[in-house]
């Protein structure tokens, strides 16, 4: 597997992340020294992807505790950090899960700094193992298709980036893919570019390239056509929040892929770390808050200019055209073939989820 993580600590006990806004063209490392740095990194999508947002927020709390102690600030400073980080992005529930875990650990502790440092580290390590296990459980699905096709290439379509860049290592959807490739199974990935921020073309293509996985970039509207022509054996996507009944919020456009998959009898899988479960809600359509981002993300497109070799943004509509920028949509459970979790595979239903996670009964 890859030799890097997406978040790590430094010798002076600060935190570093990769500036994902610059990939695939530039590898820029950003140091987070305050909770405001962590908050901004999440808001501006220097880091993104549900598990990585959670881990960054956890370290944000550690940084706030550190500053409180070093600068002899009032404990309300840490409360402010919790509020600010909670408000940094609304949809991915891992953010709130990680902050709740940090809060509980601090509430039960007297040595705040050690507790915050250890708990943030634990969140990171747990995510790595969770993703690895999603791969262990997802691998047989790819293997079965490969066997059925007598060793011919398995064509997998994905949307956005639910790879290691959205997590710490392995990724959720990429873990079964990387494990299949390691096992010598022939895999090819169709990568949706995922407008407007192009997590597919910028990030998924980047990490598949780094891992030597055969892939082809497609514009977001191509998947249905490919499915109609038997070019997709399975779809696998990530999730930012999955409800008790198995409704899945993921990057905008996921729902349309699920509809096309259903119409073409292509299995549609969701790679689901349990940290992304929101067992407090049932109806994804009405109960999951959908992020709306700045319209300029749609009005402009960013990439490396052919003429200058520099990263540039270009306007792609008339100056006065307004844009709507919904970050996520909800795929109803009935369109999801199976959920692939760290504990195994289950139906996208309350019963299915509870079988694997009985602690939520």
Among 61, 156, 157, 160, binds ligand MRU (CB under 6 A): 160
Count CB atoms within 10 A of the CB of residue 294. Answer: 11
Candidate ranges 11-19, 235-243, 256-264, 340-348; the one touching ligand MRU (CB under 6 A): 235-243
Residue 175 near ligand MRU by CB under 6 A: no
**Smallest separation, CB 15 to ligand MRU (Å):** 18
Task: Tell me the residue nearest to ligand MRU as measured from the CB.
Answer: 238
Q: Which is nearer to ligand MRU, 199 or 331 (CB)?
A: 199
- Residue from 24, 51, 176, 196 binding ligand MRU (CB under 6 A): 51
332 near ligand MRU (CB under 6 A): no
Closest CA to 257 of 234, 288, 290, 240: 234
Of the residues 166, 200, 284, 352, which one makes contact with ligand MRU according to CB under 6 A: 166
b/e per residue 152-172 (b: at least 16 CB within 10 A): eebbbbbbbbbbbbbbbbbbb
- Tell me the C-alpha to C-alpha distance, in Å, between residue 270 and each of 87, 327, 337, 348, 352: 26, 18, 8, 9, 13
Angle in degrees, 0-180, between the axes of helices 94-107 and 50-70, rounded to the nearest 10: 30
Catalytic residue among 37, 233, 240, 247: 240
Does residue 238 interact with ligand MRU by CB under 6 A? yes
Burial of 111 (0-12, 13-18, 19+ CB in 10 A): exposed
CB of 291 to ligand MRU, least distance (A): 7
Instruction: Enumerate residues 310-329 that contact ligand MRU by CB under 6 A.
Output: 327
CB of 149 to ligand MRU, least distance (A): 27
Stretches 3-11, 205-213, 237-245, 345-353: which one binds ligand MRU (CB under 6 A)?
A: 237-245
Q: Are the C-beta atoms of 237 and 159 separated by less than 8 Å?
A: yes
Decide: 320 and 213 in contact? Cβ < 8 Å. Answer: no
> Is the CB of residue 348 less than 8 Å from the CB of residue 336?
yes
Answer yes or no: 118 catalytic: no
Give me the active site residues, please.
240
Give me the residues that bind ligand MRU (CB under 6 A), please. Answer: 48-51, 92, 160, 162, 166-167, 172, 199, 238-240, 250-251, 327
């Amino acid at each position: 597997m890859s030799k890097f993580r997406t978040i790590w600590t430094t010798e002076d006990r600060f935190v570093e992340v990769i500036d994902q806004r610059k990939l695939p063209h530039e590898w820029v490392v950003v140091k987070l020294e305050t909770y405001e740095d962590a908050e901004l990194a999440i808001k501006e999508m220097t880091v993104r992807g549900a598990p990585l947002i959670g881990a960054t927020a956890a370290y944000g709390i550690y940084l706030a505790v550190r500053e409180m102690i070093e600068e002899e600030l009032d404990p309300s400073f840490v409360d402010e950090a919790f509020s600010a980080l909670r408000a940094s992005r609304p949809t991915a529930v891992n953010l709130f899960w990680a902050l709740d875990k940090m809060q509980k650990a601090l509430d039960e502790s007297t040595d705040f700094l050690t507790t915050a440092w250890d708990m943030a580290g634990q969140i990171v390590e747990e995510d790595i193992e969770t993703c690895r296990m999603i791969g262990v459980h997802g691998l047989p699905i790819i293997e079965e298709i490969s066997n059925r096709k007598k060793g011919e290439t398995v064509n997998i379509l994905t949307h956005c980036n639910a790879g290691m860049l959205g997590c710490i290592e392995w990724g959720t959807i990429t873990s079964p893919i990387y494990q299949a490739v390691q096992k010598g199974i022939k895999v090819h990935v169709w990568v949706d570019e995922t407008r407007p921020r192009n997590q597919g073309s910028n990030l998924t293509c980047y990490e598949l390239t780094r891992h030597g996985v055969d892939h082809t970039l497609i514009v977001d509207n191509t998947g249905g056509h490919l499915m109609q022509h038997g070019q997709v054996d399975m779809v696998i996507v990530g999730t930012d929040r999955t409800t008790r009944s198995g409704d899945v919020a993921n990057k905008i456009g996921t729902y349309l892929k699920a509809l096309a998959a259903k119409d073409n009898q292509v299995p549609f899988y969701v790679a689901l770390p349990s940290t992304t479960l929101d067992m407090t809600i049932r109806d994804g359509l009405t109960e999951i808050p959908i992020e709306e981002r700045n319209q300029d993300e749609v009005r402009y497109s960013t990439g490396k200019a052919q003429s200058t070799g520099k990263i540039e943004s270009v306007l792609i509509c008339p100056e006065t055209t307004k844009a709507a920028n919904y970050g996520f949509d909800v795929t109803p459970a009935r369109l999801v073939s199976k959920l692939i979790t760290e504990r195994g595979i289950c139906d996208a239903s309350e019963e299915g989820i509870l079988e694997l996670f009985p602690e939520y009964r």
